[in-house]
Amino acid sequence: MNLRWKWLVSLGMLVLCVMMIGHWFIKQGNGFFIEHSSKKQASTSSESKHKETINQLIEEAHFQGTALIIHQGQIFYQQSYGYADAQTKVPNKNDSLYPIASLQKIITGSLILELVKEDQLTLDTTLDHFYPEIDLSQTITIQQLLNHNSGIFMEEKEPEELLSDQDSQLENALNTLSTTSNKEFLYTNGNYTLLAGIISKLTGQTYEEVVQKRVINKLALRHTYFWDQVPKNEPLPKPYFYMGQDYQADPFPASEKLFSSLLGAGNLYMSTEDFWVFIQSLANGQLFEQKEYAQLASTEQKGYQAGLFYFDDLKYSEGNLRGYDTVIYGDQKNQNLVILFANQPAYDGMNELSETIYHTLLDVN
């Protein structure tokens, strides 16, 4: 056999080998792709089933508002329900603004902890450094204000006049609150209004200016406003209740006078997604590293700490403002969270609805 023929035979054998190997890879590859595709379809089917379950839970609860559900640290479910205005059929939207009520205390608490981190005060600093005119102020610490065991109480009452600036808002609180030596847990807006005043005294800026600079601007929040700064063309959701049927008007809706009295404690409007961005910032390094915030807020302890209740490695907070109701429920690492902002609260309670949705999330593959 001459060299030419030897060369042709060798080339033919090489081509045959390549074809056989290629066929084997294709066969194995098809098996891989089929298996991978099957797993993906099963996962998609599971997610779809759980989303249907969540939707059913929300609808059966007669919840109207916006739901943002986080699974494995990512947005899993985002849906708005019902009307912002039932009479004109204006729908709630995913970027609708809701009064977040007492969820604002988490923001105020985080600003205080940031000032502690900057060594501008300590958790043991006493209230008399800022408001010596308050009875027993020398016995009340920043920590106690944050945790609602300061002995301070202030009734949530609409003031006689609109409080148009921070000075009048603080003066209203100082004239309204009362103090006792009892240091048991007593939830009151007064603690966080005083904390807002302390933030202002330490920074030399109003509380609103500090929130704007350190939270809204820093996190690039696009749907967050104070009660008196909401754009006039923004269709704010009206408050309703379910009483045998949907969209029963709130007989005592929150007034501008009431909003003006909630400095640091409940006069902020946000969208659910902006609130999610803020909650993430307490762990992802934008405002705090997770371990840093956990240490400052003492999240390992059960009970109320800086705006949130902690228990069994979970966290929970709820804000009520007449017909508005807001809630966050989930794990401390922000992997699975339920955020619900309502202008018609769930009939059986927002706590029960958020907890049920959370446990549904845990079954998602």
- pLDDT per residue over 131-158, tens digit each? 999 999 999 999 999 999 999 999 989 9
Q: What is the pTM for the complete model shown?
A: 0.88
Question: In the 3-class helix/strand/coil scheme, how is 176-231 assigned residue by residue?
Answer: HCEECCCCCCCCCHHHHHHHHHHHHHHHCCCHHHHHHHHHHHCCCCCCEEECCCCC
Highest mean pLDDT among 30-44, 45-59, 103-117: 103-117
* 271-281 pLDDT tens trace: 999 999 999 99
Return the closest-CA partner of residue 328 out of 283, 291, 273, 287.
Answer: 273
Of the pLDDT bands very low, low, confident and very high (cuts 50, 70, 90), residue 208 is very high
- What tokens were used for 19? 């074809």
pLDDT at residue 18, as a whole number: 44
* 170-198 pLDDT tens trace: 999 999 999 999 999 999 999 999 999 99
pLDDT at residue 21, as a whole number: 46
Q: What percent of the chain has pLDDT over 70?
A: 88
Cβ-Cβ contacts under 8 Å for 252 (sequence gap 6 or more): 322
pLDDT at residue 226, as a whole number: 98
Domain boundaries, given as residue ranges, for the chain = 63-361
The fold for domain 63-361 equals: Beta-lactamase (3.40.710)
pLDDT at residue 36, as a whole number: 53
